[in-house]
Structure 1
């Protein structure tokens, strides 16, 4: 969490340490988004461009080391940002961090607002506009799911329906169900999948009305990696309640950074530690199923019912 004020900002201690406790921070606006990163000599050309193009810009200098849960920085230069004061969640992009304004109520609510309002996200685009490497991984995942000969499948966080579409290609009689909050993604999925698709809930936190043992295969693909740990037990409990034949999670494996509002990697084998025969495979960085991430590995967990 970052708290931005008119002449100073407070940075969470974990994020400050992750950035190697920089002496100076650069905050700027790009494409209507707010970014923060440690300022050093390598960013001199970028800083010059920001100054020349009149972008909203703030430079802040460390005034206090870590005390409790935060570090303090004071503004030494500011242009714009008059309406930017507030609390922000942080999305980790390795050397820079995207700031997203927080409601201040809960991480779960902030995440719902984020996904509901985001536009142009790659998982929400029509399938023919998505990358070829994503399609290759999706076809592989669809094969794993269809191996259970399901008559029905449910994807939590189905986006524009890419995974469901490739399941449908080899299993045209399968009933397709989804949970998705983004209106653009839902419209795209409905247009692509037709009458075999039905949305069961807008919210991944509202699964109570889905009947128990009602769907053969329940799966996620890059969805639980966006769910903070305090909500994981709720979602897992409902997945286990709903699924008849199998549960699959194709997700991000690795250590979790509390400050990162976007990605929550974890060991999914531990998530199902009570299931001794659950299959868990972490993919090597050179494997096409690793999805190109630099910091983490993708993994597949399969639980047969």
Structure 2
């Protein structure tokens, strides 16, 4: 059962995507840039266990599972509506669970406490306590594991009107870009003596960070 404090957010996500989920993959391919780069740079070894947090319709898991057929894949999302699409798309190919990114228990959900790769694609901008979600993800990294995160950035390389329009559009879907993502990842990496790598993509349209846990 989901934590009570997450019920309101779960309902908000279900209400937002109850109908949007049907056209989500078709429409989001035009502005969720960097997802395929993230999948390519996951590069898990054969036999790895890979978790996507805020997996939505399962689009990324489907692409990743086909690219890395010798790995095991898992996904979680707080929205039961989005998971309807994910389950229809993935079948038995990927293990899925309804859970809060901030409080999930990998051992209870998937009988795994540690994952070799965890990724969040355009999810932290939709999670109210996004820093708690990052912390939870890091806690579930196996030794030598990596957390990969891609999301909207500050639009610094684009005309100001573009950033304003995009911001208004994203707010309609309760999306709020996190301008301190790099700092948050660096702080978490320092706590585990890990390392980070960070890139601005497409002239600041998106940001991509990687946190690595030591062996």
What does 1:1-305 align with in structure 2 at a 5 Å threshold? 109-118=7-16, 119-121=18-20, 124-125=21-22, 129-130=26-27, 132-133=29-30, 137-145=34-42, 147-149=43-45, 151-210=48-107, 213-228=113-128, 231-244=129-142, 245-254=145-154, 261-274=174-187, 275=189, 277-285=195-203, 297-305=205-213
Distance 1:190 1:126, change over 3 A: farther
- Aligned CA RMSD, in angstroms, stands at 3.1
The structure 1 segments of at least 4 consecutive aligned residues displaced by more than 6 Å after TM superposition are none
Distance 1:178 1:142, change over 3 A: same
Distance 1:116 1:134, change over 3 A: same
Aligned residues: 182
Instruction: Specify which structure has the higher proportion of helix.
Output: 2
Q: What is the CA–CA distance in structure 2 between the aligned matches of 1:182 and 1:140, rounded to whole Å?
A: 25
Is residue 152–residue 175 contact of structure 1 (8 Å, CA) maintained in 2? yes
For structure 2, the 5+ residue unaligned runs are 156-166
Deviations 1:93-148 (A, max 9, x none): xxxxxxxxxxxx97x65432210222233xx3378734554687433221111x13
Q: What is the CA–CA distance in structure 2 between the aligned matches of 1:273 and 1:136, rounded to whole Å?
A: 23
Query: In structure 1, what is the equivalent of residue 159 of structure 2?
Result: none
Is residue 281–residue 299 contact of structure 1 (8 Å, CA) maintained in 2? yes
Q: What is the CA–CA distance in structure 1 between the aligned matches of 2:149 and 2:11, rounded to whole Å?
A: 24
Q: Secondary structure at the match of 1:280?
A: strand
Instruction: Specify which structure has the higher proportion of strand.
Output: 1
Q: Report the CA distance between 1:189 and its aligned residue.
A: 1.4
Distance 1:193 1:126, change over 3 A: farther
Q: Report the CA distance between 1:252 and its aligned residue.
A: 2.3
Q: What is the CA–CA distance in structure 2 between the aligned matches of 1:135 and 1:221, rounded to whole Å?
A: 9
Query: In structure 2, what is the equivalent of residue 56 of structure 1?
Result: none
Q: Secondary structure at the match of 1:196?
A: coil
Is residue 51–residue 119 contact of structure 2 (8 Å, CA) maintained in 1? yes
Q: What is the CA–CA distance in structure 1 between the aligned matches of 2:23 and 2:71, rounded to whole Å?
A: 21
Is residue 281–residue 301 contact of structure 1 (8 Å, CA) maintained in 2? yes
Q: Secondary structure at the match of 1:173?
A: coil
